[in-house]
């Protein structure tokens, strides 16, 4: 569970009283380690945690796999999910509030000055596919409207499909929102993969059980659970919000989530994700790397590593390391990377002697192994990421592949570093 995990890693404990408005941000920017806030102004019976998945080092410890094996382990789990078992009760039922005025119990911070909307960010939404009954877990930010009403940002993936199907049948979408779970469950909820019950991916690495709450599978270890409905016929303006690129996302009309019950453990831990911070980036990027690795391997079986760079927001730029066997492998790997992750804007392909996480190493490969007129490919007029502010209003962008692998005809010896 989360509490035990925080005791096992290098957690920073903040004993000073912290104001939810702007106060969390200052601490979370200073470190990539988990940070526990023991005194939250206005909420004496609650702790908060941020940077729970703030680095690959922490992810490695959570999964209990070597740092260099994260991608392989996660990719294997996608193919071999593990069913979970059920229990009859959970500690989060220690306190139950009907149609709560949520902000009395949970802080919805303002993270950045100049923005006035209050958000919950470390919130995982659990829902069931109305056609197949499959459970789905995914992160969604929640903007406080009033009392028990929240605007929920839904991108066009599984939960959005459930919502549309239910709306077409004149039904609301029943959901449970959980916060304060083990990092493996967070990683799983951040994973996008077809026909997946994300909780079963988490179960590969972390032993937990679920409890049935209003027909939904909810991890019994959760600190906080909100049960409610995404309303079929009500929307609100959602935003502004600082997104992954550290720029302000557009204000959109989004559905309203109405909370019917709030469940909380005694002295619960409320998970905060700093918008645009390292945890936000790693939760988006690390699961996507494993998915990309699987797909690129179908085209170039000798791919070794995929890394979504921090400078590229762990979303828009990737470095791919391959063991080059044939001319053209570099460009093929780049094309496969762009296909595997449609939001990707740049794919740099290097040989497997290059450390993909070291920007100096990658730049060295660009300096010594790349001839731009031969290795750079630009693809114009394609769909990109809605998070990329440079693409403007058209939704179209340019993407590029940089093949910085050694030309086989030249022989490798003259391209190897001596020191």
Which DSSP string do the residues of 168-179 spell out, in sequence order? HTT--EEEEEEE
Please give the structure tokens belonging to residue 131. 């056609």
Please tell me whether residues 392 and 273 are part of one structural domain: no
Please tell me whether residues 225 and 334 are part of one structural domain: no
Domain-located, residue 285: no
Over residues 51-61, the pLDDT tens digits come to 999 999 999 99
- Tell me, what's the pLDDT at 250? 86
Over residues 209-259, the pLDDT tens digits come to 999 999 999 999 999 999 999 999 999 999 999 998 999 988 999 999 999
Please tell me whether residues 268 and 348 are part of one structural domain: no
The least confident of 58-72, 133-147, 392-406 is 392-406
Catalytic residues: 243
Residue 413 has pLDDT above 80, yes or no: no
Please give the structure tokens belonging to residue 259. 């909370």
Give 359-374 as a DSSP string. Answer: HHHHHHHHHHH--HHH
Cα 252 from Cα 237, distance rounded (Å): 5
Measuring CA to CA, how many Å separate 32 from each of 53, 108, 146, 240, 277? 8, 22, 33, 25, 9
Cα 137 from Cα 398, distance rounded (Å): 32
Residue 406 backbone phi and psi in degrees, to 5? -70, 130
Instruction: Give, as one character, the DSSP assignment of residue 88.
Output: S
Please tell me whether residues 390 and 268 are part of one structural domain: no
CA 72 to centroid of chain Cα atoms: 18
Cα 259 from Cα 151, distance rounded (Å): 11
For the chain, the domain total comes to 2
Over residues 256-267, the pLDDT tens digits come to 999 999 999 999
Please tell me whether residues 240 and 380 are part of one structural domain: no
Range of the domain at 115: 2-278
Domain-located, residue 81: yes
Please tell me whether residues 234 and 308 are part of one structural domain: no
Over residues 70-121, the pLDDT tens digits come to 999 999 999 999 999 999 999 999 999 999 999 999 999 999 998 999 999 9
Query: What is the average per-residue pLDDT within 168-180?
Result: 98
Residue 414 has pLDDT above 80, yes or no: no
Domain-located, residue 290: no
Please tell me whether residues 249 and 320 are part of one structural domain: no
Please tell me whether residues 27 and 130 are part of one structural domain: yes
The CATH number for 98's domain is: 2.30.110.10
Residue 390 has pLDDT above 90, yes or no: no
- Tell me, what's the pLDDT at 129? 97
Query: What is the average per-residue pLDDT within 319-340?
Result: 97
Cα 350 from Cα 234, distance rounded (Å): 49
Please tell me whether residues 256 and 346 are part of one structural domain: no
Domain-located, residue 295: no
- Tell me, what's the pLDDT at 418? 73
Residue at a domain's end among 278, 311, 346: 278
Kind and range of the H or E element at 286? helix 278-299
- Tell me, what's the pLDDT at 391? 81
- Tell me, what's the pLDDT at 406? 95
Over residues 296-327, the pLDDT tens digits come to 999 999 999 999 999 999 999 999 999 999 99
pTM of the model: 0.94
Cα 138 from Cα 186, distance rounded (Å): 9
Query: What is the average per-residue pLDDT within 257-279?
Result: 97
Domain-located, residue 289: no
The CATH number for 388's domain is: 3.40.1670.10
Query: What is the average per-residue pLDDT within 276-300?
Result: 95
Domain-located, residue 222: yes
Sign for the CA dihedral angle at 142, 119, 17, 32 comes to positive
Quickly state the pLDDT bin for 392 (edges 50, 70, 90): confident
DSSP-derived pairing of the beta strands 216-219 and 209-213: antiparallel
Cα 221 from Cα 360, distance rounded (Å): 42
Please tell me whether residues 358 and 263 are part of one structural domain: no
Quickly state the pLDDT bin for 412 (edges 50, 70, 90): low
Residue at a domain's end among 222, 246, 278: 278
Please tell me whether residues 167 and 132 are part of one structural domain: yes
Residue 359 has pLDDT above 70, yes or no: yes
Work out the mean pLDDT of the chain and round it to a whole number.
Answer: 95
Please tell me whether residues 25 and 89 are part of one structural domain: yes
């Amino acid at each position: 569970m989360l509490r035990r995990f925080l005791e096992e890693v290098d957690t920073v404990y903040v004993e000073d009283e912290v104001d939810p408005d702007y106060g969390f941000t200052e601490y979370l920017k200073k470190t990539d380690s988990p940070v526990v806030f023991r005194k939250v102004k206005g909420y004496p019976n609650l702790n908060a945690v941020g940077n729970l998945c703030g680095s690959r080092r922490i992810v490695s410890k959570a999964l209990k796999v070597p740092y260099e094996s994260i991608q392989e382990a996660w990719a294997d789990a996608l193919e071999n999910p593990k069913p979970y078992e059920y229990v009859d009760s959970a500690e989060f039922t220690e306190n139950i509030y009907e149609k709560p005025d949520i902000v009395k119990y949970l802080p919805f911070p303002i993270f950045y000055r100049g923005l006035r909307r209050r958000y919950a960010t470390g919130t995982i939404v659990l829902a069931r596919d109305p056609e197949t009954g499959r459970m789905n877990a995914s992160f969604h930010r929640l903007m406080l409207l009033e009392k028990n009403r929240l605007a929920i940002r839904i991108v066009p993936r599984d939960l959005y499909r459930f919502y549309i199907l239910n709306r077409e049948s004149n039904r609301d979408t029943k959901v449970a929102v959980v916060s304060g779970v083990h990092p493996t469950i967070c990683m799983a909820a951040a994973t996008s993969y077809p026909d997946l019950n994300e909780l079963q991916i988490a179960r590969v690495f972390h032993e937990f059980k679920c409890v049935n709450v209003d027909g939904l599978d909810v991890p019994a270890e959760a600190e906080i659970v909100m049960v409610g409905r995404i309303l079929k016929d009500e929307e609100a303006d959602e935003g502004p919000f600082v997104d992954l690129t550290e720029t302000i996302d557009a204000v959109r009309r989004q559905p309203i989530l109405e909370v019917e019950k709030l469940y909380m453990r005694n002295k619960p831990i409320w998970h905060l994700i700093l918008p645009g911070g390292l945890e936000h980036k790693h939760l988006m990027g690390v699961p996507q790397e494993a998915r990309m690795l699987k797909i690129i391997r179908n085209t170039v079986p000798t791919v070794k590593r995929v890394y979504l760079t921090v400078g590229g927001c762990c979303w828009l730029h990737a470095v791919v390391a391959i063991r080059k066997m044939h001319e053209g492998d570099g460009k093929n790997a780049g094309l496969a990377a762009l296909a595997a992750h449609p939001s990707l804007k740049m794919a740099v392909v290097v040989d497997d002697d290059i450390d993909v996480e070291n920007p100096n190493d990658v730049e060295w490969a660009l300096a010594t192994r790349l001839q731009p007129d031969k290795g750079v490919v630009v693809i114009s007029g394609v769909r990109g990421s809605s998070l990329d502010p440079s693409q403007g209003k058209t939704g179209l962008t340019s993407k590029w592949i940089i093949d910085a692998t050694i030309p086989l005809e030249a022989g490798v010896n003259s391209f190897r570093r001596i020191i």
